[in-house]
């Protein structure tokens, strides 16, 4: 939807397609100007190309690969290079604005929902879907190696069709 000042970004207090409640800290409806300010607040210079990439990433709850983002930003007029997309994704990840979800070495998604949650990955369709953090429980984690600290736990449940058609 166009607010008159730029495309509205993020989704506010909505349920994702798998039921995760997106909270205010990670999902705020923004106009293009607010997105520019949001990037600046996180130490990202809001260039025209970065804003195009951020618009694609934050327009709705989704998981996109770098190639999908490149295709989306260049759909009407090719103006953003592949290197710029990869460099911007690396920067947005380093600044904590998106999560990098590596489902295998050749398949990486970028997730604008940065709060704690896990994923289903459908190997047949290539779709990545969110799992509410409360739906995954651990009885015990292994003892950490000396000199390390836990930085997070990411679960990816890989799926395939059951072929019972």
Query: In this prediction, what percent of the chain has a pLDDT beyond 90?
Result: 58
CB burial class (10 A; 0-12, 13-18, 19+) of residue 34? middle
Question: Is 56 in contact with 50 (CB distance < 8 Å)?
Answer: no
Q: What is the pLDDT of residues 60-81, one digit of tens each?
A: 888 999 999 999 999 988 889 9
pLDDT exceeds 70 at position 59: yes
pLDDT exceeds 50 at position 113: yes
pLDDT exceeds 60 at position 159: yes
Q: Where are the alpha helices (DSSP H) in the chain?
A: 32-41, 48-58, 66-73, 82-94
Question: Is 58 in contact with 112 (CB distance < 8 Å)?
Answer: yes
pLDDT exceeds 70 at position 19: no
* Dist. CA 165–CA 157, nearest whole Å: 22
Angle at 113 between CA 33 and CA 24, to 5 degrees: 65
pTM listed for this prediction: 0.76
pLDDT of residue 116: 87
CB burial class (10 A; 0-12, 13-18, 19+) of residue 80? buried
59, two tokens: 């327009």
Q: Is 85 helix (H, G, I), strand (E, B) or coil?
A: helix
Q: SS3 helix, strand, coil % of the chain, rounded to 5?
A: 25, 20, 55
pLDDT exceeds 80 at position 15: no
What H or E segment, with its residue span, contains residue 128? strand 127-131
């Amino acid at each position: 939807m166009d607010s008159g000042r730029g495309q509205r970004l993020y989704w506010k207090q909505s349920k994702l397609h798998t039921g995760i409640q997106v909270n205010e800290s990670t999902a705020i409806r923004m106009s293009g100007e607010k997105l520019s300010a949001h990037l600046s607040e996180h130490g990202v210079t809001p260039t025209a190309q970065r804003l195009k990439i951020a618009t694609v990433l934050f327009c709705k709850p989704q998981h996109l690969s770098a190639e999908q983002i490149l295709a989306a930003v260049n759909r009407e007029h090719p103006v953003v290079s592949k290197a710029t997309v990869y460099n911007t994704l690396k920067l947005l990840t380093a600044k904590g604005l998106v999560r990098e979800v590596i489902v295998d070495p050749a398949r990486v998604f970028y997730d604008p929902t940065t709060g704690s949650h896990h994923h289903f990955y459908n190997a047949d369709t290539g779709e990545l879907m969110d799992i509410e953090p409360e739906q995954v429980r651990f009885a015990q984690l292994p003892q950490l190696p000396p000199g390390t600290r836990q930085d997070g736990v990411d679960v990816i449940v890989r799926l395939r069709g059951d072929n019972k058609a």
